[in-house]
Amino acid sequence: MTELRVPGDKSISHRALLLAALAGGESRIRGILTGEDPRATASILGELGVRVPPLVADAELRITGVGVRGLRAPDRILDCANSGTTARLMLGVLAGQELEATLTGDESLRRRPMRRVTDPLSRMGARFEPLSAPGRLPLRVTGGPLCFLDYRLPVASAQLKSALLLAGVTGGVPVELVEPGRSRDHTERMLAAAGCALASSREGVANRVHLTASPSALDPVDLVVPGDFSSAAFPVALALLGGAGEGIVLRGVGLNPTRTGLLPVLDRMNARIEVHERSVPERGEPTGDLVIHPSDLTGTEVRPGEIPGLIDEVPVLAVLAARARGTTRITGAEELRVKESDRLGALAANLTSLGVEVEELPDGLVIEGTGRPLSGAVEARGDHRIAMAFGVLGALAGNAINVDAPAAVDVSYPGFWEMLERASRPAARPPVGDSGEDDLEPARPFRERGRGPVIVIDGPAGSGKSTTAREVARRLGFRHLDSGALYRALTCALLESGRPPESWPALTESDLNAHPVRMVAAGSAFRTMLGARPLTTELRSPEVDAHVSAVARLPAVRGWLLDRQRQAGEEGSLVGDGRDLGTVVFPEAEVKVFLVADVAERARRRLLQKGREPDSGSEVSAEVDRLSSRDHIDATRGIAPLKKAADAFEVDGTRLSFAEQVEAILRVVRARVGDRDARDLDFQGMIDA
């Protein structure tokens, strides 16, 4: 069985940072999550005068607290990025500080409701001024002396509960709360460990929490952050659905009972999971190991009272339900509409587009399980848990799913795609690249019948190669290799290294080896990585635009990137686009297309792509000039000039719509690969077309 550890718990990581900042003395935290969400909390604490070292996986983090009311007024707007926990908990922390600060967040966070937090905090005496829409970020907070609060929460929300308890601590006042269901209790546990007097009791399904007193100096945090149960849910699902051979052993997972509500649901679904509790401290967090076996799942009913205990696991549960026998009905989950995305909407839309029967309820989902192969594109809406849930589904044999925003996972699970790649290979085999052997049995659906065809689309700048290749790949259930992204990634790395561009022509292979640029298979796509960092928007920065052609002309670079492109192509079942894929990189490619279009049409498309009005004559002619000179450079460069391979099929897209262009290429594929092979390879979309 594959053994894994998942990254540190996100909720506990935020709280550890906050309480360490407010403590009187030095805190020591091990196993903190290094994802983007806790990084947002750490950087805001930095703005507020707390020295927080960079978050590094597996290193001990030491923070010297500034005291419960010792935060400093920030010079800048505090950016919570995508993190709801940062925003809400920080509102509570700031409520008790005599200072003014402005909090904001990314587009998703600016849509999420904040009034649930600001209403009760206003009752305590803090002031909030929304700077854009009412009840939304950005918000200006003016903290100050607070009075006690006795409050019934409108929703079972740990973020809300924690914000109010933290306001009680920074304001030095008692807080008595009743929540309609029992949400996660990490804050209560950590406040108790820091010396606060707290009591909690159940009142039917409701939960009463009473912070009676908090010390003027909190004890420092001394903590090992357990693995995040919510992150563990993804490898759990992979193993249950048979995507990880004999199964998975997950070590060191947090098993706080307010977090593990997924387990009894999975039990009803017939899941074979062994839970071995290893440590059940009186204070602090219980942890243990999970052993997950492939299971024949059946549908179930998930009731409203169960939702708080599995609030973040609904996306992965929906994916499990899509593969279970029978119907799964989830209700009482309306809170999911105001998470990082409207998760009910996102799940219903994506499952439907993959071919799963789903009914979207105002507060839930009804999902009919199916054993059919699932293929298509998933729009993750920038939401980490939607991306990961469908990532798991895409890693299963028979499915070919392309998730549009793979980098979203970094919010809570850095290394998710690498985990998926490793775990979905049969156990006891080292990851590719470690052994030097090439007989590793592939685990992905389209690799099962051996190496699939390599399809290349070369052509001049602006011919729409990249978007066309991506769509052709999606239709075939193949991976898309955007070779230009590799050149851009290297350009990015060179710019970041600070080496002056004039010195780049002298770069040798060993200089280039200092830049860990590679393509990593991520579900049914490739991600461009620089070391452990996925590159996304950086690849299209104006600086990269300005230098990439010069980089791509360097012989040392072309040789060096050749290996990386070929590596990506080893498993086949790939649609690549570039300028020399058919002539140099994959001369043996089964299908070669040379995509051209008249230069004025290419200029028009480029402008449209940049959101400009292509009718303004001077802009079009300036773009025509740019493209013509680019064509000239590409066609006349000494090394790997742009030219049509002798066996390439030319597609002229000048008068074709995007859809027609894609269809034309699919016809070439069918003609070249042959109907028989096409059927074997399950080119369903294409044969139907």
Tokens of 147: 């009075």
The residues in 485-504 that bind ligand S3P, with binding defined as CB under 6 A, are none
3-state secondary structure of 577: strand
11 binds ligand S3P (CB under 6 A): yes
- Least distance CB 80 / ligand S3P (angstroms): 13
The nearer residue to ligand S3P, 289 or 312, going by C-beta atoms, is 312
The nearer residue to ligand S3P, 168 or 464, going by C-beta atoms, is 168
The residues in 135-164 that bind ligand S3P, with binding defined as CB under 6 A, are 157-160, 162
What contacts 625, CB < 8 A, 6 or more positions away? Answer: none
The nearer residue to ligand S3P, 227 or 477, going by C-beta atoms, is 227
260 binds ligand S3P (CB under 6 A): no
**Rounded distance between C-alpha atoms, residue 213 and residue 196, angstroms:** 6
Query: How many residues sit in the footprint of ligand S3P (CB under 6 A)?
Result: 13
The residues in 305-324 that bind ligand S3P, with binding defined as CB under 6 A, are 311-312
- Cα–Cα nearest to 34, from 408, 385, 413, 287: 413
108 binds ligand S3P (CB under 6 A): no
Respond yes or no: is residue 312 known to be catalytic.
yes
3-state secondary structure of 61: strand
Convert 179-197 to b/e letters by CB count within 10 Å (16 or more is b).
bbbbbbbbbbbbbbbbebe
Single out the residue of 13, 43, 183, 231 in contact with ligand S3P (rule: CB under 6 A).
Answer: 183
Eight-state DSSP code of residue 304: G
The nearer residue to ligand S3P, 237 or 455, going by C-beta atoms, is 237
Residue 275 pairs in a beta bridge with 290
The nearer residue to ligand S3P, 165 or 319, going by C-beta atoms, is 165
3-state secondary structure of 576: strand
Question: What HEC string does 492-506 produce?
Answer: HHHHHHCCCHHHHHH
Tokens of 236: 């759990």
- Least distance CB 88 / ligand S3P (angstroms): 7
The residues in 82-101 that bind ligand S3P, with binding defined as CB under 6 A, are 85
Eight-state DSSP code of residue 54: P
Work out the burial of residue 542: count CB atoms within 10 Å of its CB; fewer than 13 is exposed, 13-18 middle, 19 or more buried. Answer: exposed
The nearer residue to ligand S3P, 225 or 244, going by C-beta atoms, is 225
**Rounded distance between C-alpha atoms, residue 408 and residue 387, angstroms:** 7
The nearer residue to ligand S3P, 312 or 421, going by C-beta atoms, is 312
Contact 499, 474 (CB under 8 A): no
**Rounded distance between C-alpha atoms, residue 460 and residue 466, angstroms:** 11
Ramachandran angles phi, psi of 455, nearest 5°? -115, 125
Identity at 137, one-letter amino acid code: L
**Rounded distance between C-alpha atoms, residue 171 and residue 156, angstroms:** 23
Strands 206-213, 197-203: parallel, antiparallel or unpaired by DSSP? antiparallel
- Least distance CB 427 / ligand S3P (angstroms): 31
- Least distance CB 91 / ligand S3P (angstroms): 12
Among 228, 289, 312, 577, the one annotated catalytic: 312
The residues in 193-252 that bind ligand S3P, with binding defined as CB under 6 A, are none
**Rounded distance between C-alpha atoms, residue 662 and residue 512, angstroms:** 36
Contact residues for ligand S3P, defined by CB under 6 A = 11, 14, 85, 157-160, 162, 183-184, 311-312, 335
Active-site annotation, residues: 312
